[in-house]
């Protein structure tokens, strides 16, 4: 494959200016026009499922079974529910003949900056929402997932109205110039450090932002949990996309006596999925690039030096392979507990009470997802009322992502703002107060 062609930096201001000018033609306002754009997006996804699958496979060596259907479902949801999602919300009238309501008005031109770990979905789901809300859109896929970025560029240029959706490719230099332009909203998915850069750039124009960031998502397992089920779910998510998922379980919190049964089931689940020799399994996903692989090898080196690896620990730079790994005797001061792992390494931190687990979570930044495995309603309430996180799931991992009636987003260091379903329409609209008063009064 030839390398992805970056957009010439000097052309970026005009692409954005043209997009802003198109918005001012008011073409994007009508619901029928928005549906036309969404139908084009749907055609693009449905007619190119094979190519999209191949691009994702080339970037990450995993299937697209989750990513493409999710984009299709989200786009169909906007087409089917656009009237409902965008309808005016009645207010209370002050005088008898007033008509007071909230109108969801498109913001203008939206910038979507995607990350590499779901290189299609993290660009196209925000795109669907921004189109449904009546905006023009500039897309900036991640340069790290270059097969996907390249294909997206070709497909967007072929299927989408070029005056409504534009695509810009590049790395830091191009994105820096892009962020100097004026947008009406920016949605960025990626790491927290760059999230700060995006927010600083947006502040110059007072542009609102949605920041979909990462963090360390904990899974608390209590003695009131179905231990085998908890272990199977955590094991599955830790190797899906090779642990390169913002919502994956970063670390486990459990009492010491649960550790051994958990470890055995987690290992059993991994071996059931990939066989005893995981390295030889062609369907085991890979780490995206050398830089991320080196970072993960650094984490492995640190835990190995302290003899904390109880399973796994091997890696192979040439094949971007990191073996699923379990780490025990973990202290909060360990390197592995400092930043989001974003790979298939699973530390277990022992904690003898729910109160201790809550304290540990509250001693760090607010995670994107918090998972509690317990059948006890009191424990659920205890965790929900004493912790903060983007989402909280009981007895599962990450499953709220697929429920588009729920908002998706972080809090604190894991992000700000939310999208999905009607929350996308709200994110990419201005809630405009309208009051119509009779001039006869
Ligand atoms: P990445 O390297 O693809 O970067 C994301 C985007 O930021 C890219 O488009 C890139 O070009 C741009 N970028 C990088 N440096 C920049 C700079 N200096 N200035 C402007 N733009 C810049 O992805 P990543 O950051 O490695 O993504 C992984 C992170 O994203 C993890 O922390 C993960 O948890 C998080 N994530 C969050 C979500 C979510 O929905 N909350 C989803 C996926 C990933």
Position in ligand 1 atom list of the atom nearest CA 170: 11
CA-nearest of 219, 222, 220 to 375 is 222
Q: What is the pLDDT of residue 441?
A: 64
Nearest-atom number in ligand 1 for the CA of 247 is: 34
Q: Cα(177)–Cα(210) distance, rounded to whole angstroms?
A: 19
Residue 3 lies in a domain: no
Q: Which of 367, 251, 345, 246 has the alpha carbon at shortest distance from 296?
A: 345
Closest residue CA from atom 16 of ligand 1: 172
98 falls within a domain? yes
Compute the distance from residue 117 Cα to the ligand 1 centre, in Å. 9
Residues whose CB is less than 8 angstroms from the CB of residue 146 and which lie 6 or more positions away in sequence, other chains included: 1, 3, 4, 59
Domain count, the chain: 2
Q: How far is CA 211 from CA 187, 190, 191, 312, in A?
A: 6, 8, 9, 34
Provide residues with CB under 6 Å of ligand 1.
113-117, 122, 140, 142-144, 171-172, 175-176, 189-191, 194, 197, 212-214, 246, 340, 342, 368, 410, 415
Contacts of 118 (CB under 8 A, 6+ apart): 67, 241, 245
Q: Has residue 1 been placed in a domain?
A: no
Distance of CA 358 from the midpoint of ligand 1 (Å): 28
Cα separation, 125 vs 111, whole angstroms = 13
Dihedral through CA 82, CA 125, CA 172, CA 2, nearest 10?
Answer: -120
Are residues 183 and 243 both part of a single domain?
Answer: no
Same domain, yes or no: 197 and 55: yes
- Whether residue 360 is contained in a domain is answered as yes
* 353: in domain: yes
**Same domain, yes or no: 235 and 144:** no
Q: Which atom of ligand 1 is nearest to the CA of 246?
A: 34
CA of 354 to the centre of ligand 1 (A): 33
Separation of alpha carbons 189 and 199, rounded Å: 12
Do 225 and 196 reside in the same domain of the chain?
Answer: no
Domain that holds residue 161: 9-213+410-436
Looking at the fold, whether 200 and 267 belong to one and the same domain comes out as: no
- The answer to the question of residue 99 being in a domain is yes
User: Does the ipTM exceed 0.95?
Assistant: yes
Residues recorded for the chain: 441
Are residue 342 and residue 416 in the same domain, yes or no?
no
Q: Give the residue, out of 59, 191, 212, 427, with the most ligand 1 atoms within 8 A of its beta carbon, to mutate for a pocket test.
A: 191
Closest CA to 185 of 126, 243, 143, 244: 126
DSSP for 154-183, please give it.
HHHHHHS-TTTEEE---SHHHHHHHHHS--
Known catalytic residues are 212, 246
Do 117 and 140 fall within a single domain? yes
* Regions of the chain where pLDDT drops below 70: 1-2, 441
CA of 195 to the centre of ligand 1 (A): 8
Domain shared by 122 and 260, yes or no: no
> How high is the pLDDT of residue 7?
98
Examine the domain organization and report whether 197 and 235 are in the same domain. no
Same domain, residue pair 235 and 379: yes
CA of 382 to the centre of ligand 1 (A): 33
Q: Is 396 exposed, middle or buried (0-12, 13-18, 19+ CB in 10 A)?
A: middle
- List pLDDT tens digits, range 28-72: 999 999 999 999 999 999 999 999 999 999 999 999 999 999 999
Is 89 contained in some domain? yes
pTM (predicted TM-score): 0.97
Question: Do 192 and 301 reside in the same domain of the chain?
Answer: no
**Index of the ligand 1 atom closest to the CA of residue 197:** 19
Residue 141 phi, psi (nearest 5): -70, 165
Output the CA 173–ligand 1 centroid distance in Å.
15
Q: Which of 6, 7, 190, 193 has most ligand 1 atoms within 8 Å of CB, for mutation?
A: 190
Q: What is the CATH number of the domain that holds 396?
A: 3.40.309.10
Closest approach atom of ligand 1 to CA 114: 9
CATH number at residue 129: 3.40.605.10
Name the closest-CA residue to atom 37, ligand 1.
213
Pick the residue whose CA is nearest to atom 14 on ligand 1.
172
In this structure, the residue with its CA closest to atom 6 of ligand 1 is 115
Q: Are residues 127 and 234 in the same domain?
A: no
**Is 441 within the bounds of a domain?**
no
């Amino acid at each position: 494959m030839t390398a992805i062609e970056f957009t010439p930096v000097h052309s970026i201001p005009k692409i954005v200016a043209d997009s802003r000018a198109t918005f001012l033609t008011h073409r994007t306002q009508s619901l029928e026009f928005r549906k036309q754009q969404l139908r084009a997006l749907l055609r693009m996804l449905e007619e190119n499922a094979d190519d999209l699958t191949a691009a994702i496979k080339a970037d990450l060596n995993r299937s697209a079974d989750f990513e493409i259907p999710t984009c299709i479902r989200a786009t169909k949801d906007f087409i089917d529910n656009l009237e409902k999602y965008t309808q005016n919300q009645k207010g209370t009238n002050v005088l008898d003949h007033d008509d007071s309501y909230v109108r969801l008005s498109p913001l203008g031109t939206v910038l979507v900056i995607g990350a590499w770990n779901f290189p299609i979905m993290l660009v196209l789901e925000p795109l669907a929402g921004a189109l449904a809300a009546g905006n023009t859109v500039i897309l900036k896929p991640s340069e790290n997932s270059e097969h996907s970025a390249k294909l997206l560029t070709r497909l967007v240029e072929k299927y989408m109205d070029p005056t409504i959706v534009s695509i810009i490719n590049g790395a830091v230099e191009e994105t820096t110039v892009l962020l100097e332009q004026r947008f009406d909203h920016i949605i960025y998915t990626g790491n927290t450090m760059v999230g700060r850069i995006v927010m600083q750039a947006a502040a110059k124009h007072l542009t609102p932002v949605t920041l979909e960031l990462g963090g360390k998502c904990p899974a608390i397992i209590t003695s009131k949990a179905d231990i085998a089920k908890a272990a199977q779910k955590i094991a599955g998510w830790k190797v899906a996309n090779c642990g390169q998922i913002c919502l994956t379980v970063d670390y486990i919190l459990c009492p010491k006596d649960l550790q051994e049964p958990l470890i055995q089931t987690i290992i059993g689940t991994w071996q059931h999925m990939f066989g005893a020799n995981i390295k030889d399994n062609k369907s085991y996903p890979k780490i995206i690039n050398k830089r991320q692989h080196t970072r993960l090898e650094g984490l492995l080196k640190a835990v190995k030096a302290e003899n904390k690896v109880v399973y796994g620990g091997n890696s192979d730079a040439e094949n971007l392979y990191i073996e699923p790994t379990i780490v025990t005797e973990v202290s909060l001061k360990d390197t592995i507990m400092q930043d989001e792992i974003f790979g298939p390494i699973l530390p277990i931190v022992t904690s003898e009470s729910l109160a201790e687990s809550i304290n540990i979570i509250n001693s760090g930044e607010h995670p994107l997802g918090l998972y509690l495995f317990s059948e006890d309603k009191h424990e659920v309430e205890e965790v929900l009322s004493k912790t903060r996180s983007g989402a909280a799931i009981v007895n599962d991992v990450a499953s709220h992502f697929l429920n588009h009636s729920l908002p998706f987003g972080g809090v604190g260091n894991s992000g700000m703002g939310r999208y999905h379903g009607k929350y996308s329409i709200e994110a990419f609209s201005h809630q405009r107060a309208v009051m119509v008063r009779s001039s006869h009064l």
